[in-house]
């Protein structure tokens, strides 16, 4: 129960921060109501949607390392630790980071979960976090672990956290813009000369429906990003290590995702897709087949 209360508190605090920050930003930009007696002010509406859509996404990105530590209970490992297993984990991550040309070594941590997974997050290549689960450390050998870590380092080197945020922010803005424009024309029965303000329940329902379409686009990009990180791991650690790691994930499919944190799902090495249209990761068999067929 205390853990649940803590997550609720974090959720409310972050959303309050986003609300205050973006409201202040809109006031600074002089964006007031985008509906008036003359109809829609498209310029104000576009700016409003961009600030809310992109701003919320980038604030979340800026807090991503902190949020991941709080939500997942990540224990950050001291780079100077003398504990053999932890020291080897840090050394492997740092060696891969240097090979990938990262400007600064990422933080390295683990989280106490029996799930077999790992993730990378952080706002920039210089402020990244790579974390592995206790379950993954227990079930994978050294070569498989290196393949997983190389995959996560590839995400950081590719700037995937930022590009995912950009994609999500653009989709958010488009959804908000279209929902309000469509709701306006529904309220006015398609007439330009009528200026009835839209019903906010209609706006909400349109946003809900359009968001599902947006999720399909974001998920498709995320799946492509996973294939690219697999290829990056093959270059950094060796193709056989990455293939072996993915095969081990197949064998431990029941333990791949036990934490149910949707906000981090797309950054983990594997997920549990229910519907492929909304899946953030391609099927493991497809990833293995692509690596095996790579020249």
Catalytic residues, by residue number, are: 152
The structure tokens listed for 16 are: 């309050």
Q: Give the β-pairing of 35-36 and 39-40.
A: antiparallel
How many secondary structure helices (H) and strands (E) does the chain include? 11, 6
d(CA 132, CA 94): 14
> Which structure tokens are listed for 174?
């488009």
- Strands (E) across 13-103 are located at 35-36, 39-40, 75-76
How many CB atoms sit inside 10 A of residue 227's CB? 15
- Length of the chain as a residue count: 295
Question: Helix crossing, 200-237 with 239-251: angle to 10°?
Answer: 130
Which candidate, 84, 63, 66, places its Cα nearest to that of 74? 66
End-to-end CA distance of the chain: 51
Selection from 11, 47, 52, 41 nearest residue 29 by Cα: 47
């Amino acid at each position: 129960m205390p853990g649940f209360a803590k997550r609720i508190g974090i959720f409310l605090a972050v959303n309050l921060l986003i609300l205050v920050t973006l409201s202040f930003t809109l006031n600074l930009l002089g964006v007031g109501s985008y509906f008036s007696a003359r109809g829609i002010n498209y310029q104000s509406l576009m700016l409003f949607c961009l600030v809310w859509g992109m701003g919320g996404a980038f604030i979340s990105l800026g807090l991503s390392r902190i949020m991941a530590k709080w939500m997942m209970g990540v224990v950050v490992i001291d780079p100077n630790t003398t504990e053999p297993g932890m020291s080897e984990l840090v050394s492997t991550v740092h060696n891969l980071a240097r090979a990938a040309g990262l400007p600064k070594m990422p933080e390295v941590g683990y989280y106490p979960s029996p799930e077999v997974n790992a993730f990378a997050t952080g706002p920039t290549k210089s402020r990244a976090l790579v974390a592995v689960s206790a379950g993954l450390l227990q079930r994978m050998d050294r070569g498989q672990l290196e393949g997983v870590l190389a995959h996560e380092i590839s995400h950081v080197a590719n700037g995937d956290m930022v590009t995912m945020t950009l994609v999500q922010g653009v989709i958010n803005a488009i959804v908000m813009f279209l929902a309000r424009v469509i709701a306006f024309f529904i309220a006015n029965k398609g007439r330009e000369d009528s200026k009835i303000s839209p019903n906010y329940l209609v706006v909400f329902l349109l946003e809900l429906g359009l968001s599902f379409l947006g999720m399909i686009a974001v998920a498709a990009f995320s799946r492509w990003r996973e294939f690219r990180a697999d290829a990056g791991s093959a270059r950094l650690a060796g193709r056989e290590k990455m293939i072996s790691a993915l095969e081990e994930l197949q064998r431990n499919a029941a333990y791949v995702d036990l934490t149910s944190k949707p906000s981090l799902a797309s950054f983990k090495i594997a997920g549990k897709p229910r519907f492929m249209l909304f899946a953030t990761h391609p099927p493991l068999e497809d990833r293995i087949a692509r690596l095996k067929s790579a020249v």
